[in-house]
Amino acid sequence: MNRNVRRQFASSIWLGVMYLLTVLALIPLGLVLWFTVSKGLPSVLHPEFFTNSFRPFGIPGGGIAHAIVGTAILVGLASLMAIPIGILGGVYVAEYAVDPWASWVRLASDVLVGTPSIAIGLFAYALVVVPVHHFSGIAGSIALAILMLPIVIRTTEGAVALIPNGLRESGLALGLPRWRVSLQLILPTAAPGVITGALLAVARASGETAPLLFTSLGNTLFKVDPTQAMQALPLTIYQYALLPYKSLQDQAWGAALVLVVMVLGINLLSRWVLRRQIRLAGQL
Amino acid sequence: MRAVLGAGDTKLKVEQLSFYYGKNQALKDVSFEIPERRITAIIGPSGCGKSTLLRVFNRMYDLIPSARAGGKVLLDGEDVVTTRKLLELRQKVGMVFQRPSPFPMSIRDNVAFAPRLLGWSSSRVKEVVRQSLERAALWDEVNDRLEAPATSLSGGQQQRLAIARCLAVSPEVILMDEPCSALDPVATLKIEDLMAELMRDYTIVIVTHNMQQAARVSDYTAFMLMNPEGRYGELIEFAPTANLFNQPQDQRTEAYITGRFG
């Protein structure tokens, strides 16, 4: 009896410790959200914040339209480059796992995932900015594409590996070439998982500052031409937060809120798509 | 082209077939002849190499990098083991697996998938879909819902869909790897009836661990066993099914079919 009580006591103590640690782990997340929302909300509540671009300190009505459009174009171009290549690479790595080439691709993408994003920015600077002698959205999107590529490869590989082998064999047994089975049967089946990976890569690229610092540089003007220097949301936060003017600092918080909401939205969407994939794979 | 063979003539001739996974020998010196437009069953306990043998006939083992076959399997006189026309071989020798693996698309698209990729005209594809589903005894159950997802079918229906899918590319030989082991008795019976029907036009080879099924459906039976010393599978006896079950020539066959082991 006595031992039983002691055991229950110890159990509830440790359970309590675990709850406490869980709460501790959640505190940073809560604080980040709380600060961004409370500090960013005043800026976001003005409609012109979304329709206007940069205005110098002292002139009211400044907005981040140039940064939102810039981020959309930068990330859009990066996606056009990274997602198709990443998907094909991921299918290759998963479907031809025993090929020696595949293990090199896998190693390369692992190294790329671990590469500091500022180094990737520097690489794009040397590759694109230096030869043409000016900063451009294209240079920025190339840096972002390099950042996205390994994420797309590895998530595609994971999604394809989730497809039961029976499906592959059934396709091959019909006398179809291996590449057609991979691309026209396995890949469509893995599509939701692949889309999840692409969305995660988009979310990641949307929030990156370092690769853009010496590629896209930033711009106070509203630009849609990617051969010019372009503004982006993370650049806005970085630049405005360093300025000594309260109104621009407030706009930095506003931009941060927009970015956090955007990335959160993409992440939730990708989780929803992934859940469909898991359900589908269970039926096959 | 359809071979000029009469029913009962040799369709697949297995000669001194050996098979290896890396250094491990899985089959040794298997020789027998599978007759045209008959049902041949391969039986034996787990691990005797019967599935491996079946997967040699359409070179399914090519997916496993370390796998290697020696000897010959002649299909209408052409060696399967060394042929370079792999895709033609697999169209000619279709396969139905233990799990039906419906493609994640509609019932119609499951059957039409391969014909479309092979570039057949849409009118021909349409015809083939209907014909294949009819031959697989599934048409009457699904003709009013061809657009429904294949995963909505029952297990038995999915397996008949897998057969229809295989028929769509006009095979001559159909390999079945324990096609009923995941099905209930009623669905199993339907597949067995279907096999008897298909036998008129196709050569069928079925691997089963269910002896009663082999006795019920097949014309010929091959009994395989794992060699206890060499750990490889070997063919113990091959005979017309009635003979094999009633007057087995080998003691080991008799022991197995009377249920003394395996």
Judge whether A174 is closer than 8 Å to chain B, CB to CB.
Answer: yes
**Cα separation, B30 vs B45, whole angstroms:** 16
- pLDDT above 50 (res B207): yes
Phi and psi angles of residue A24, each rounded to the nearest 5 degrees, phi first: -55, -45
- At residue A58 the predicted structure's pLDDT band, cuts being 50, 70 and 90, is confident
Cβ density class B116-155: b for 16+ within 10 Å, e for less: bbbebeeeebeebbbbbbebbbbbeebeeebeebbbebee
What total of structural domains would you count in chain B? 1
Same domain assignment for residues A61 and A18: no
User: Is residue B182's pLDDT more than 70?
Assistant: yes
- Tens digits of residue pLDDT in A21-41: 999 999 999 999 999 999 999
B4 lies in some domain: no
Note whether B61 and B55 are within 8 A (CB). yes
Residue A12 belongs to domain spanning: 2-43
Whether residue A206 sits in one domain with residue A73: yes
Six token digits for residue B47: 């691990």
CA distance B226 to chain A (A): 26
- Across the interface, which of A98, A175, A184 has its CB nearest the CB of B91? A175
A169: nearest CB among B60, B91, B104: B60
* Res. B3: pLDDT tops 60: no
Q: Which residue has the tokens 């055991």?
A: A7
Judgement on whether residues A106 and A240 belong to the same structural domain of the protein: yes
- pLDDT for the residue numbered A140: 96
Query: For residue B218, is it within any domain?
Result: yes
Q: Which of B88, B99, B151, B176 to mutate to test the interface with A (most CBs of A within 10 A)?
A: B99
Percent over 70 (pLDDT), chain A? 99
Residue of A174, A178, A185, A283 for testing the chain B interface, max B β-carbons within 10 Å: A174
pLDDT number for residue B2:
45
Residue B56 has pLDDT above 90, yes or no: yes
- Tell me whether B170 touches chain A (CB under 8 Å): no
**pLDDT of res. A273:** 87
Note whether residue B1 is domain-resident.
no
CA atoms within 13 A on the CB side of B29: 4
CATH of the domain at B196: 3.40.50.300
Q: Do B87 and A175 touch (CB under 8 A)?
A: yes
Q: Is residue B29 part of a domain?
A: yes
Confidence at residue A201, expressed as pLDDT on a 0 to 100 scale: 95
Q: Total structural domains in chain A? A: 2
Backbone angles phi, psi at B64, to 5 degrees: -95, 115
Better-predicted residue by pLDDT, A273 or A148: A148
Assess if residue B200 is contained within a domain.
Answer: yes
Pairing of strands B10-21, B24-35: antiparallel
**Mean pLDDT for the stretch of residues B86-107:** 94
Residues of A in contact with B101 (CB under 8 A): 164, 166-167, 169-170, 284
Burial class of residue B99 in the structure, from the number of CB atoms within 10 Å of its CB (0-12 exposed, 13-18 middle, 19+ buried): buried
A174 and B91 in contact by Cβ < 8 A?
A: yes
Pair (A167, A35) in one structural domain = no
- My answer on whether A25 and A54 are in the same domain is no
**Closest to B104 (Cβ–Cβ): which among A174, A176, A189?**
A189
Does the pLDDT value for residue B262 go beyond 70?
no
Instruction: Judge whether residue B233 has pLDDT over 70.
Output: yes
Question: Could you report the per-residue pLDDT of A134-161, keeping only the tens digit for each?
Answer: 999 999 999 999 999 999 999 999 999 9
Q: B17: which strand partners? A: B30
A29 and A58 belong to one structural domain: no
B2 falls within a domain: no
Q: Is the pLDDT of residue A231 over 90?
A: yes
Q: Categorize the per-residue pLDDT at B1 as very low, low, confident or very high, splitting at 50, 70 and 90.
A: very low
Residue B261: per-residue pLDDT? 63
Mean pLDDT, chain A, rounded, equals 92
CA angle A25, A27, A29 (to 5 degrees): 90
A18 and A86 together in one domain:
no
Q: What confidence score (pLDDT) does residue A278 get?
A: 77
Neighbour order of strands in the sheet with B203-207: B78-79, B67-75, B10-21, B24-35, B233-240, B220-226, B39-43, B203-207, B173-177, B93-96
Chain B 29-58, CB below 8 Å of chain A: which residues? 58
The ipTM, to two decimals, is 0.91
pLDDT tens digits, A162-215: 899 999 999 999 999 999 999 999 999 999 889 999 999 999 999 999 999 999
Same-domain check for residues A24 and A119? no
CB A192 within 8 A of CB B126: no
Mean pLDDT, to the nearest integer, of B169-175?
96
Mean pLDDT score, A41-51: 91
Domain co-membership, A32 together with A111: no
Q: Domain of A71: which CATH number?
A: 1.10.3720.10
Note whether B22 contacts A: Cβ–Cβ < 8 A.
no
Q: To the nearest whole angstrom, how far is the Cα of B87 from the nearest Cα of chain A? A: 4
Structural domain range at position B112: 10-257
Most distant CA pair in chain B, distance: 57
Q: Contact B117/A166, CB-based, under 8 Å?
A: no
What CA–CA distance (Å, rounded) separates A194 from A274? Answer: 9
